[in-house]
Amino acid sequence: MTQIKAGSLKGVLLALPEDRSAVTRDLIERIGEDNVRAYGTAAILLHTDEAAATVRDWIRVGSALVVEFETWSGSGDDVPREWLLARGH
């Protein structure tokens, strides 16, 4: 089982869905596959101790918004609840 490091939940919202695969790959290279989850067609969830501004600087696409979450609430089967809960969210 993977040991989960300190950090916080961040979301990357991309303007273009076609950018998601490349951004997901880049984030996995930086923080590891266990800490990145693609969500929907143009969003990515990640758990890292890096600042939102640092994550933003890693993204090499035209338009992206990086947000940091303190709490979350979700509905539907596509929400990665176990992944989120394992990271203290």
Every domain of the chain and the residues it spans:
8-86
**Cα 72–Cα 33–Cα 16 angle in degrees, nearest 5:** 65
| CB contact burial 29-46 (16+ within 10 A = b; e otherwise) | eebeebbbbbbeebebbb
> What pLDDT is stored for residue 26 in this prediction?
95
pLDDT in tens, 19-72: 999 999 999 999 999 999 999 999 999 999 999 999 999 998 879 999 998 777
Q: Per-residue pLDDT tens for 2-22?
A: 667 788 999 999 999 999 999
Report the SS3 class of residue 42: coil
Name the fold adopted by 8-86.
Answer: Alpha-Beta Plaits (3.30.70)
